Chain A
Amino acid sequence: MLFNLIIVIMVLFSIIFGILSGSITALAPAALDGAKDAVTLCLTLCGMICLWSGLMELMKRSGLSEKLSSLLSPILTRLFPTAARESETMFALSSNVSANLLGLGNAATPAGIKAAKGLKRLSGIDSASDELCLLVVMNTASLQLLPTTVASLRASLGSATPFDILPAVWLASLFSVSCGIFAAKLFSHFSRT
């Protein structure tokens, strides 16, 4: 609903601003350009997105993502002591994090939902427990080894070295996740269950 409103506001603002700045005649060609660019963009993105999806499927089928999730367990056990009481929830949790890391969005969400349900059951309360909030915060801050869509986007818009941003992306997401975890720990003292 909010998003529908945002779209309307965007168009309304462009018309008001177009009249005020005298650039109203530029709007129609801009709209057509946008539609055209949307298709060109998707076409140029298509090859790279498919290539990466292929590689990610290979990570899944070869058992690499499972391997990663077992490596992550020790860290996650410390962050989620309640989840660690039940191996099934812990497994869903580590699958969720490892799938996020590898960019397997399709696998991350079902595992995350399973972990969220498990955490709710284990916490025994109807509102979001501290650990459930932590899980959600970790999922809203993207931790991804290869942000392939963004790299493809840069490549299709003429970047000479589309992947050179990777270290910056890693550091920024790491900082973002750490701040999220810290904020979740801090705010949990002030929010009532």
Chain B
Amino acid sequence: MKLIGELSVPLIIIFVMLYALYRGTDIFSSMTAGAADGLKTVVGIVPALITLLPCIYMLRASGALDALCCLIRPLLSQIGIPSETVPLMLLRPLSGSGALAVGSDIIKQYGADSYVGRCAAVMLGSTETTFYVIAVYFGAAGIKNTRHAIPAALVADFAGFVAAAFFVRLFWG
């Protein structure tokens, strides 16, 4: 199962390249144009991370994060979620860059290949910035009464967190 992830990357790259070759797309200029777009994405993330990471580091240095984890641990251990990921779960639906900052803090603190680090990474990868998406879509469609969209989206987020912890435990536990 772990091999699938590692293998899928070179396989997807070669599949996309072969398909492009077959369709006669200019591979090199497409990839460099995309890479230039990627630079813009990174430039967009830098200011947000510079603002947010110091806040999160201060919170960790003060001991507040550990206290929060201890407080919620008994509740979360029932459903198998490591309490170290609480700050990530709280920020994930609200802010993409905030989640990236807090996720990187957790992964750095506990190690990228640790259980907690892997959990944080899977949580980050399997959920979205819920409130941002809701604001953009309903804003664009001009809808004020969002009915059950927010509760259903939060159910999806929560299910994603539980499943992330479950599958990491299943594969690496």
Measured CB to CB, the residues of A under 8 A from B are 2-3, 6-7, 10-11, 13-18, 21, 23-24, 26-27, 29-35, 37-39, 41-42, 45-46, 49-64, 106, 109, 112-113, 116-117, 119-120, 126-128, 132-133, 135-137, 139-142, 144-147, 149-151, 153-155, 157-169, 171-173, 175-180, 183-184, 187-188, 190-193
Q: Looking at the assembled complex, report how far the CB atom of A25 sits from the nearest CB atom of chain B, in whole angstroms.
A: 9
Contact A176-B157, Cβ < 8 Å, known A58-B20, A171-B163: yes
Which chain B residues numbered 107 to 156 have a C-beta less than 8 Å away from chain A?
Answer: 107-108, 111-113, 117-118, 121-130, 133-134, 136-138, 140-149, 151-153, 155-156
A sample of 13 more A-B contacts (CB under 8 A), given A38-B52, A132-B143, A136-B146, is A34-B56, A34-B58, A60-B30, A61-B30, A120-B143, A126-B145, A132-B137, A141-B127, A153-B104, A159-B113, A173-B127, A180-B155, A191-B147
Measured CB to CB, the residues of B under 8 A from A are 1-6, 8-9, 12-13, 16-17, 19-20, 23, 25-27, 30-39, 41-42, 45-46, 49-64, 67, 91, 93-95, 98, 100-101, 103-104, 107-108, 111-113, 117-118, 121-130, 133-134, 136-138, 140-149, 151-153, 155-157, 159-160, 163-164, 166-168, 171
Taking CB atoms, residues of chain A closer than 8 Å to B151 are 183, 187
A/B interface sample: 19 pairs, CB < 8 A: A3-B95, A7-B51, A26-B62, A35-B50, A54-B35, A61-B30, A62-B20, A127-B146, A128-B145, A136-B137, A141-B126, A159-B112, A163-B6, A164-B2, A168-B118, A169-B122, A169-B126, A172-B122, A192-B147
Q: Looking at the assembled complex, report how far the CB atom of B127 sits from the nearest CB atom of chain A, in whole angstroms.
A: 6
